[in-house]
Structure 1
Amino acid sequence: MKTVLITGCSSGYGLETARYFLWHGWNVVATMRTPKEGILPASDRLRILPLDVTDPKSIAAALEAAGPIDVLVNNAGIGLFGAFEATPMDTIREVFETNTFGTMAMTRGVIPQMRERGAGVIINVTSSATLAPFPLVAAYTASKTAIQGFTASLAHEAAEFGIRVKLVEPGYGPNTNFTANSGDRMNGLITEPYAPFAQRIFAGFANPGAVTTAEDVAEVVFRAANDTSRQLRFAAGADAVALAA
């Protein structure tokens, strides 16, 4: 019975992905900054662990408690809408700490055990914004695009040791707490000169047409985890599939 560790399971893609792997009989280590009871179905195959991907001590403790990991899903992330001009550098660094460096740190943490076993899968969840960047998410898109390049390069060296590395690129999911996970970071990031432009962009978000659901992402993550081919990129959601094509 295989074990998957998923980061960012308190809501959205991570929560649904944890449910999906449980339904399919896997051992699941669901991690989040502040563990919540009752958000996942009770199971003797489930462990919920605290994990802050920006804290090396938290990463080490979670990986030690989790034990051998067959699949790592780097899903934890924070969103950010705002005019780049108005976005403080400290806020940009905070986004990179979670979305980029947190993913890298988790990956570094699991590679040694996977390398020693000669097997394992690392799945990095990015965004369709890396396929077709849109306005007012420049810092967020940069943090996710960095992971695209990192993953593509890492896949080559990891393959030498039997480790498969995959990218999952979700489309636009209006119901996945993207803005909620931004917290107070977005306050004041739409300044007066950008307000008319932002209104037009947000109107488009309100009527996006095809969207991506958390279920779409969970299904694709599961498919990537079980894929033994050399395929690197997996678009998730009808809009992401169209953009990738």
Structure 2
Amino acid sequence: MKTILITGCSSGYGLETARYFHCRGWTVVATMRNPREDLLPSSERMRILPLDVTNPESIAAAFENSGPIDVLVNNAGIGVVGAFEATPMEHVRKVFETNTFGVMAMTQAAIRQFRARRSGVIVNVTSSVTLAAMPLAAAYTASKMAIEGFTASLAFELAAFGVRVKLVEPGYAPTTRFAQNVDIDIADLIPPDYAPFAEPIFAEYAQPAMVTREIDVAEAIWQAATDIEGRLRFPAGADAVALAQLG
């Protein structure tokens, strides 16, 4: 029986992934900033732990309370949509604290036990914006691109210790709570001069030709976590797969 620790399990990809692995017999350590057992029933194989990936003490407590794990999934993330010109730097930093530095801190904590055991898998969830940049999301795209490079480098670095490092790249999912954790109104980030450019883009987001479902991401994370062939990237969702094929 294997154990997986997943960040950002209060909704979307993380919640679906926790359920997916649990149904397949794994022990799941589902973490979120504010634990809610109504989302995931706590049991011997489903443990709910508080975790703020931007807080070193919270990270240390989560690893101490989770016990040994076999797979770490860095899924927690936030976004900010709007013209970069109008985006306060405090919000840019907030995005990087979670999406980039939070992932790095969680990874660093996991490496210690994985290296000692000469086994383990780290799965970093990025986005299809790394395959084709999304307009009006420059800060978010930059934070995810940083993790792409970080993961690719780390995969080489840890291979000698039997530790596998993977990327899952989800496409656009209208049901996710993108930008919910950034306390700013999107209307404030679209100056009048940007409106003619932004309006058709938001209209396309409202009725996308292809979308990514939460189950698509859970399945891609499963493939990444169980892959032994050395594959690095796992696009998730029809739109992400199409973009990856174009590249």
Partner of 1:139: 139
What is the CA–CA distance in structure 1 between the aligned matches of 2:243 and 2:77, rounded to whole Å?
22
1:77 aligns with 2:44: no
What is the CA–CA distance in structure 1 between the aligned matches of 2:2 and 2:158, rounded to whole Å?
20
1:4 aligns with 2:4: yes
State the Cα distance separating 1:174 from its structure 2 match. 0.5
What is the CA–CA distance in structure 2 between the aligned matches of 1:6 and 1:115, rounded to whole Å?
19
Q: Which amino acid aligns with 1:61?
A: A
**Which aligned pairs between 1:1-245 and structure 2 lie closer than 5 A?**
1-184=1-184, 186=186, 188-245=188-245
Q: Once structures 1 and 2 are overlaid, which stretch shifts more, 196-205 or 9-18?
A: 196-205
Q: Once structures 1 and 2 are overlaid, which stretch shifts more, 123-132 or 85-94?
A: 85-94
What is the CA–CA distance in structure 1 between the aligned matches of 2:32 and 2:117, rounded to whole Å?
27
TM-score, structure 2 as length reference: 0.97
Q: Which amino acid aligns with 1:199?
A: E
What is the CA–CA distance in structure 2 between the aligned matches of 1:216 and 1:185, rounded to whole Å?
29
State the Cα distance separating 1:44 from its structure 2 match. 1.9
What is the CA–CA distance in structure 2 between the aligned matches of 1:187 and 1:202, rounded to whole Å?
12
Unpaired runs of at least 5, structure 1: none
State the Cα distance separating 1:40 from its structure 2 match. 1.4
Q: Which amino acid aligns with 2:77?
A: G
What is the CA–CA distance in structure 1 between the aligned matches of 2:70 and 2:31, rounded to whole Å?
15
CA RMSD, aligned part only?
A: 1.1
What is the CA–CA distance in structure 1 between the aligned matches of 2:154 and 2:186, rounded to whole Å?
32
State the Cα distance separating 1:182 from its structure 2 match. 3.5
Q: Once structures 1 and 2 are overlaid, which stretch shifts more, 107-116 or 182-191?
A: 182-191
Distance of aligned partners of 1:142 and 1:90 in 2 relative to their CA distance in 1, 3 Å threshold: same
Secondary structure at the aligned position of 1:123 is classed as strand
Deviations 1:71-121 (A, max 9, x none): 000000001101000011111111000000000000000101000000000
The number of residues matched between the two structures is: 245
What is the CA–CA distance in structure 1 between the aligned matches of 2:211 and 2:183, rounded to whole Å?
23
Secondary structure at the aligned position of 1:44 is classed as coil
Q: Which amino acid aligns with 1:172?
A: Y
Q: Once structures 1 and 2 are overlaid, which stretch shifts more, 166-175 or 186-195?
A: 186-195
Judge conservation of contact 2:211–2:238 (CA < 8 Å) in 1.
yes
Deviating 4+ runs (over 4 angstroms):
none
What is the CA–CA distance in structure 2 between the aligned matches of 1:232 and 1:164, rounded to whole Å?
9
Unpaired runs of at least 5, structure 2: none
Distance of aligned partners of 1:187 and 1:50 in 2 relative to their CA distance in 1, 3 Å threshold: farther
Secondary structure at the aligned position of 1:148 is classed as helix
Distance of aligned partners of 1:53 and 1:225 in 2 relative to their CA distance in 1, 3 Å threshold: same
Secondary structure at the aligned position of 1:19 is classed as helix
Secondary structure at the aligned position of 2:28 is classed as strand
Q: Which amino acid aligns with 1:147?
A: I
State the Cα distance separating 1:206 from its structure 2 match. 1.1
Q: Which amino acid aligns with 1:30?
A: A
What is the CA–CA distance in structure 2 between the aligned matches of 1:75 and 1:190, rounded to whole Å?
28
What is the CA–CA distance in structure 2 between the aligned matches of 1:100 and 1:216, rounded to whole Å?
23
What is the CA–CA distance in structure 2 between the aligned matches of 1:110 and 1:179, rounded to whole Å?
27
State the Cα distance separating 1:134 from its structure 2 match. 1.8
Judge conservation of contact 1:80–1:185 (CA < 8 Å) in 2.
no
State the Cα distance separating 1:185 from its structure 2 match. 6.1
